[in-house]
Structure 1
Amino acid sequence: MKRPLKTSLFFFLSLILLFSCKENEKGETATQATEDSEELVVVVTKTQFEGNAMELGTPSDRPLPTVISVAGMIDVPPQNIASISAIKGGYIRDIPLLVGDAVRKGQALVTLENPEFVALQQEYLETTEQLNYLKSEYERQQVLLDENVTSRKNFLKAESEYKSAIARSEGLRKQLLLVSISPKQVEAGNISSSAKLYAPIGGSVSQIHVTKGMYVSPTTEILEIVNTDHIHLELNVFEKDINKLQKGQHIHFKVPEVSSESFEAEISVIGTTLEENRTIKVHADLTGNDDVLFLRGMFVDAQIEIESGVKEQEQQLTLPESAVVEQEGRFYILILETENDDGYSLRKVEVQAGNASGGLIEISSEELNPSDQILIKGAFEVMPM
């Protein structure tokens, strides 16, 4: 009797365990299905929608132009860059500037000190004083020659010494001006052991290579000034696309390390020399971006429009690039399903992405209709993974 009882008890416990496992499996399946559904739909409250400046819009059938994608950087013309160095060497006595400081043309930048400055001023002053005597002697010999009192040889000697002194004085005067020392101050007896370097252009200090007390030679670059009033794009275009380029073609570009905003430019100069990497330089002037701070050296991704549009049969629906979110190499948008007082219900839909230009991107999907309301601003922040 004991053995059948044990067998029955074992059979009963096995049945309980089996039913428990099946119930757990059903529960797990239901939970997974709910999670799958939540991955496809996101609910945004009215407060979230307004607080994040989100926006709905419909796809457009506006044709996108044919473009060439190129890379490049932001630069300025050579005449807008000034490398400051000393004509004569010396020790840095004062350099009150920092990188980024704005300077105006003619502003004092650096003070140099060198005993050679004193020797140069002394020589100029002595030559100038000697010039007065030689001028008088030359004029006296001129009068004597006219009266046949002196020989022509004496006159020519006085003339030679006088004109040599003039040349020497003028040469020393030019040297003083090169080191920014006023000859008039020297003639007045004001001799200084220091000289200042002045800004040849207005702009901002981009580099400083020296410190106070440091000795600089004429070959030492002390600092650099950059004027960004005429900033432009310098693009690298491969030789296969050279014949597609024309002056005046429109360009859309982005600075990927700064923002996803698209800016505009226009081709102004097309290079005529092929570089070692089989590209040519193309310069483009920025248009309509006066309120944006661009810095020399920023890398850009640009698209050059080589055709204004496409054929009608090739047109596709387009959306702002902010409406399309890339996840692991696939592209998605959020389509409005329902809207009520509580908020918005948005469905995640995968799309095929095409060409992009001017902040717009071509898309296609069997689940997308031209009348659908799409989240065109704020999609990245709420797109479910």
Structure 2
Amino acid sequence: MKKILYILALVTFTISCKNEVVEETVKDDGLITVTAEQFKSSGMLVGSPSEQDFDVTVKASGKIDVPPQYRAKITPFIGGYVKATKLLVGDKVSKGQALITLENTEYLDIQKDYVEVAEQINYLKSEFERQKTLYNEKITSQKNYLKAESDYRQAKGMYQGLREKLLLLNINPANVEKGRFTSVITLTSPISGDITVMNANVGMFMSPSDVILEVVDTNYLHLNLSIFEKDILHVKQGQNISFTIPEASKDVFTSKVQLVGKSIENKDRTISVFGVLNPTDKVKLLSGMFVEAGIVISSKKGLGIPIDALITENNKNFVLLLQENKGNYIFKKTLVNIGEKSEQFVEILSNEAINENSKILTKGVFDLTN
């Protein structure tokens, strides 16, 4: 029995000692301790901040957009019921291609009125010319002449107006004059591009205020950014832009400033900046995507550390500063202020705690903070 109790006590003591060792390797009075074995097995590295080249940027945000002339919203000139459509969002269409057909008896009424006026106009023209001749020969009164002229011009105006309506509805006036009436019209695309919006189903009534489809020519995608008034004097045409799509990718894309707005917009006192995109990037991007961007206005040298060495928590930035290396590595989580960023480095603004001689953990930070 005593032997069993002795063994149990020995096991309990051993487990207790192991727990104490684990706690010491993780944390000691706010410091993080890493054994030499852990340091080596995790592939950790320690290094000093070094001088790096950094771009000085103006921060901006905005979206991927297209110029107004390359975005078309398709609405009916006169409302109608959707009869047929075979298109879906994402389909490519060409300029002049049929998009959708609508049906409405109101289209027939316009054609009927057009034919009636067309038939009247020849008679009214002939009467006007007759009254003009009689008036010139002093046979008829000026009143009769002016009335004939008024009737003819009024009919002519109505004829032209109805003709333009038919053309807007894509109905051929020549066919109407031959008695070929139709209650169906076809809406065509005014530009080539991709369908980005489709709001129609067969049987739906679409009024003139309804957007049935939207077509965007993605060959003309560009950056539409907003910068604050205080930065406008630093931004010029031709400057480089780097930007990301934070909701979709971590990739960094490049652009150049194409145009800078000439007036301050909105209540937030911002100015529009437009950037041209690389052709290879356009196929990866979609109209309407939110972007975060930096416009490069100059360059400078600064004290930099690898981006992987930076810890960001609650909008504050830290590094693991080496305090002691006597067998074990002891690090202290140290608050730092950062400046500009490059693809691989982030600028550290030197202070009393961090300088070019400081030793910080540059690789393996993730393993100790997660």
Which TM-score bucket, shorter chain as reference?
0.7 to 0.9
The match for 1:361 is: 345
Q: How many Å apart are 1:26 and its aligned residue?
A: 5.8
Is 1:179–2:169 an aligned residue pair?
yes
Does 105-114 or 219-228 show the bigger shift? 219-228
Contact 1:61 1:316 in 2 (8 A): yes
- Residues 1:331 and 1:230: Cα distance change in structure 2 (over 3 Å): farther
Contact 1:353 1:362 in 2 (8 A): no
The match for 1:165 is: 155
SS of corresponding position for 2:300: coil
- Residues 1:380 and 1:32: Cα distance change in structure 2 (over 3 Å): closer
SS of corresponding position for 2:233: helix
SS of corresponding position for 2:230: helix
SS of corresponding position for 1:192: coil
Contact 1:87 1:218 in 2 (8 A): yes
Gaps of 5+ in 1: 1-8, 45-58, 333-346
Q: Which amino acid aligns with 1:252?
A: S
SS of corresponding position for 1:189: coil
The match for 1:288 is: 278
Is 1:227–2:227 an aligned residue pair?
no
Contact 2:221 2:277 in 1 (8 A): no
The match for 2:181 is: 191
Q: How many Å apart are 1:114 and its aligned residue?
A: 1.2
The match for 1:131 is: 121
- Residues 1:69 and 1:181: Cα distance change in structure 2 (over 3 Å): same
Contact 2:241 2:254 in 1 (8 A): yes
- Residues 1:28 and 1:137: Cα distance change in structure 2 (over 3 Å): closer
Q: Which aligned pairs between 1:248-263 and structure 2 lie closer than 5 A?
A: 248-263=238-253
Gaps of 5+ in 2: 27-33, 44-48, 321-328, 349-355
Higher gyration radius (CA): 1
Contact 1:232 1:283 in 2 (8 A): no
Does 241-250 or 19-28 show the bigger shift? 19-28
Q: How many Å apart are 1:63 and its aligned residue?
A: 1.1
Is 1:80–2:70 an aligned residue pair?
yes
Q: How many Å apart are 1:117 and its aligned residue?
A: 0.8
- Residues 1:381 and 1:266: Cα distance change in structure 2 (over 3 Å): same
TM-score (norm: length of structure 1): 0.71
Distance in structure 2 (CA, Å) of the matches to 1:195 and 1:13? 97
Q: How many Å apart are 1:75 and its aligned residue?
A: 2.0
Distance in structure 2 (CA, Å) of the matches to 1:241 and 1:138? 69
- Residues 1:281 and 1:80: Cα distance change in structure 2 (over 3 Å): farther
Is 1:117–2:117 an aligned residue pair?
no
Find 1:97's aligned residue among 87, 91, 94. 87
SS of corresponding position for 1:190: coil
Q: How many residues align?
A: 335
The match for 2:352 is: none
Find 2:296's aligned residue among 299, 305, 312. 305
The match for 2:325 is: none
SS of corresponding position for 1:131: helix
Q: Which amino acid aligns with 1:360?
A: Q
1:125-150 Cα deviation digits (max 9, x unpaired)? 1211222233334444555566x494
Q: Which amino acid aligns with 1:299?
A: F
Q: Which amino acid aligns with 1:359?
A: E
Distance in structure 1 (CA, Å) of the matches to 2:153 and 2:11? 119
1:134-191 Cα deviation digits (max 9, x unpaired)? 3334444555566x49425454444433333222211111111122211112122211
SS of corresponding position for 2:280: coil
Q: What percent identity do the matched residue pairs reach?
A: 33
TM-score (norm: length of structure 2): 0.73
